[in-house]
Amino acid sequence: MNLFLHSILIIICTIVLSGCGGDEEESKDILGKDRVEYSPEKDARIQQYNLEHQKKFASDRTPCDTLALKEYVLISYPEGNYLVNSDKTLSYNVPKPAVIYYYKDNNYIFGVVAKSREDERLIEPKNIIGYDQSFIDLDSTELGTAFFYLTLFKCTNGNFEVVWETPIPSHGGFNRITLKKWKYNNTEFIESNFHYGRGTGHINYNYFLIDGINSRPHLLMTYEGINFKRTIANVNDDKYPDYYEYIYYDLGNRVFSKDSVAFIWREKDSVYVNTRNHRQTRPY
């Protein structure tokens, strides 16, 4: 009898261990390099399939429309690079691509492209767009590191080319881009708006077309939240925008701003300089 029970126990343990081994192998497959985010080839096939589906149901196509631009990015850029969508304004809205057709010449298109970092898992657009994704800097290496670029495309006879691209210094929380004008001298600029959940506010990366649309733009960062604020200003009457940095005081029961300091652009050094303390500089 004891021998029989002993044999039964051995059989049961063998089955359990075999099952555990299978789960381990399955886990390795689930978490391994065969997943789409680790396979540029699989990701490219999925992106192409989704694009063909969108093209199938699109109407009133034009040679330089957004679907054509998506296809250009898919074909011309390395795998893991995407033309980004804007954040949804409502839960059930269909997200729109983050592109602006320049009203003076529709052959020029501003767009935001997100690129995956080399030697990391591919980024996923859902992980870099929206308020919740503004926390991605805390665990960006787990989800892949996104590098955003504001890019000016030009379409001639249905063929796209990149006029310039410039980095946007953020990794997640993208919201939208908007074409605006600086009230001081009507200089046009692209406002790239990002959610900033950790500070309960937002950050704008403003790209000023100082020397026209074909020249690489000038970057000025502004932001606003519960205890921080920076606004565009004209301090020294030159062609470059300046800004005011607001100083906040925390009294425990309330937070308020009672002072501000101006920063002006020092062109020879390509930095913003504190007008009260010239040793304090900012790159943008």
DSSP symbol at 37: G
Task: Note the pLDDT of residue 253.
Answer: 85
Q: Longest Cα pair distance anywhere in the chain, in angstroms?
A: 99
CA triplet 18, 19, 20: central angle to 5 degrees?
Answer: 90
CA triplet 261, 201, 267: central angle to 5 degrees?
Answer: 40
Q: At what angle are helices 66-76 and 40-57 packed, to 10 degrees?
A: 160
**Prediction pTM value:** 0.84
When pLDDT is averaged across residues 222-229 and rounded to a whole number, the result is 94
- Distance in angstroms (rounded) separating the CA atoms of residues 126 and 124: 5
Instruction: Assess contact for 100 and 150: CB atoms under 8 A.
Output: no
Residue spans of beta strands (DSSP E) within 45-158? 81-83, 99-101, 108-116, 146-156
pLDDT per residue as tens digits for the range 105-162: 999 999 999 999 888 889 988 889 999 888 886 665 578 899 999 999 999 999 999 9
Q: What are phi and psi of 263, to 5 degrees?
A: -120, 135
More confident position, 199 or 185: 185
- Distance in angstroms (rounded) separating the CA atoms of residues 158 and 160: 7
Q: Residue 189 is which amino acid? A: F
180, 177, 178: which is closest to 188 by C-alpha? 180
pLDDT per residue as tens digits for the range 231-276: 999 999 999 999 999 999 988 888 889 899 999 999 999 999 999 9
- Distance in angstroms (rounded) separating the CA atoms of residues 163 and 108: 9
173, 170, 224: which is closest to 197 by C-alpha? 173
Say which residues have a Cβ less than 8 Å from residue 146's Cβ, sequence separation at least 6: 114, 115, 116, 117, 123, 127, 128, 136, 140, 171, 172
* Torsion-angle region of 257 (φ positive above 0: left; ψ -120 to 50: alpha; else: beta): beta
